[in-house]
């Protein structure tokens, strides 16, 4: 990896709003694809395709070898590193690495926050998301993609007050009392949504393992669906994972291998309104049970329920909420307490 000095990128990485924030100084930035495999497809008819209106038709033979199931990673390396290890950011279901970038209402996201704290940050679009690319289905991805309506995240991510709380008219939407999600930017959040598959978990885990094999010992911060990816990758590469930060994990690792995580300090964070939700009490209970299994094996797991810590109103999208930097500061303090900063 090159160590190009990047003297001035203020226009690229300043906070979205005009502010007095200091520029972020990097020694390098870039991207790469990692993981994936080659797949052979045969028995398909040759098609004639006009790629550009008014263009000359071209014959396209869909039979042959395809590169699939790779992952896209973008990295930012601060000039003054203070994190002892790189920080890998893994997004949740139906989303991409945009999750950690500028918030839907234009505030600073966690990517910038942790860069300012001196962490080398690697932000990814997982298999079948964003710049990672898609593959044919059902030939390669063994199911159809799942798409979300504009109402679905509002009602399911503990932004609105449950079913039927969304309305096309923003003035008629029923918010949870005191909710911290920036509802004025909700339409921008919906624009981040991308198709997701339910049959690509193994490929995603393989790509994340390839990422940590390439980057080396790292801290992993992961959200929602990526709960199972973060814990399972740590179980596959326990020597390379120095800490786990699970933000409302919707999936978990293998309980039979909980002891493999005993030497990896783990932080699990849950937001607000969980008790009144139809799904999240069970999801949280599963997470606590998994944490208990790690602790029973001699491991260290800290569970933080934000309301009990005095941080109230958080939706499922904690990193986008109006108090996102307060939660980020809690994570930073935990990392410092575990001796993971220089």
Instruction: Render each residue's pLDDT in the chain as its tens digit; 342 residues.
Output: 433 333 333 333 333 343 447 899 999 999 999 999 999 999 999 999 999 999 999 999 999 999 999 999 999 999 999 999 999 999 999 999 999 999 999 999 999 999 999 999 999 999 999 999 999 999 999 999 999 999 999 999 999 999 999 999 999 999 999 999 999 999 999 999 999 999 999 999 999 999 999 999 999 999 999 999 999 999 999 999 999 999 999 999 999 999 999 999 999 999 999 999 999 999 999 999 999 999 999 999 999 999 999 999 999 999 999 999 999 999 999 999 999 999
CA distance 266 to 252: 13
- pLDDT at res. 21: 74
Nearest to 284 by CA among 298, 304, 308, 299: 304
User: So what's the pLDDT on residue 142?
Assistant: 92
At 15 the pLDDT is 36
Task: Please classify residue 3 by burial: count the beta carbons closer than 10 Å to its beta carbon, then call 0-12 exposed, 13-18 middle and 19+ buried.
Answer: exposed
Which letter, b or e, does each residue of 57-86 get, where b requires 16 or more Cβ atoms within 10 Å of its Cβ?
eeeeeeeeebebbbbbbbbbbbeeeebbbb
pLDDT of residue 12: 36
Which residues have C-beta within 8 Å of that of residue 282, sequence separation ≥ 6? none
Q: Give CA separation, 166 vs 140, 163, 175, in Å.
A: 35, 8, 9
Angstrom distance (rounded) from CA 74 to CA 105: 22
Which residue shows structure tokens 């390439």? Answer: 214
What's the pLDDT at 80? 96
Tell the residue number behind the tokens 């003054």, with chain if given: 80
> Which residues is 71 bridged to in the sheet?
34
Q: Do residues 33 and 71 touch, judged by C-beta distance below 8 A?
A: yes
What pTM value is reported for the model? Answer: 0.92
For residue 191 the two structure tokens come to 């624009």
């Amino acid at each position: 990896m090159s160590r190009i000095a990047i003297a001035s990128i203020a226009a690229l990485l300043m906070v979205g709003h005009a502010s007095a924030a200091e520029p972020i100084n990097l020694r390098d930035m870039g991207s790469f694809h990692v993981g994936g495999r080659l797949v052979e497809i045969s028995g398909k008819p040759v098609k004639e395709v006009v790629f550009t209106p008014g263009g000359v038709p071209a014959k396209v033979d869909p039979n042959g070898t395809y590169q699939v199931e790779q992952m896209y990673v973008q990295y930012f390396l601060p000039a003054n590193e203070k994190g002892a290890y790189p920080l890998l950011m893994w997004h949740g279901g139906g989303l991409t690495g945009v999750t950690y970038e500028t918030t839907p209402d234009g505030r600073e996201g966690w990517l910038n926050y942790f860069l300012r704290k001196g962490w080398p940050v690697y932000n990814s679009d997982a298999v079948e998301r964003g710049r990672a690319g898609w593959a044919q289905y059902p030939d390669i991805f063994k199911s159809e993609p799942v798409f979300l309506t504009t109402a679905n995240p509002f009602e399911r991510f503990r932004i609105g007050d449950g079913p039927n709380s969304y309305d096309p008219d923003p003035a008629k939407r029923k918010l949870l009392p005191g909710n911290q999600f920036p509802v004025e930017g909700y339409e921008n959040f919906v624009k981040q949504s991308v198709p997701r598959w339910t049959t690509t978990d193994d490929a995603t885990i393989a790509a994340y393992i390839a990422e940590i094999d390439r980057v080396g010992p790292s801290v992993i911060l992961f959200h929602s669906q990526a709960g199972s990816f973060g814990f399972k990758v740590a179980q596959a590469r326990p020597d390379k994972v120095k800490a786990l930060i699970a933000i409302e994990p919707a999936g978990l690792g293998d309980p039979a291998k909980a002891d493999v995580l005993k030497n990896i300090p783990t932080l699990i964070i849950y937001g607000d309104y969980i008790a009144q939700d139809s799904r999240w009490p069970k999801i949280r209970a599963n997470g606590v049970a998994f944490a208990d299994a790690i602790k029973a094996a001699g491991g260290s797991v800290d569970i933080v329920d934000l309301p009990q810590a005095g941080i109230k109103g958080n939706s499922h999208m904690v990193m986008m909420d109006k108090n996102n930097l307060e939660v980020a500061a809690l994570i930073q303090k935990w990392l410092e307490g575990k001796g993971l900063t220089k």
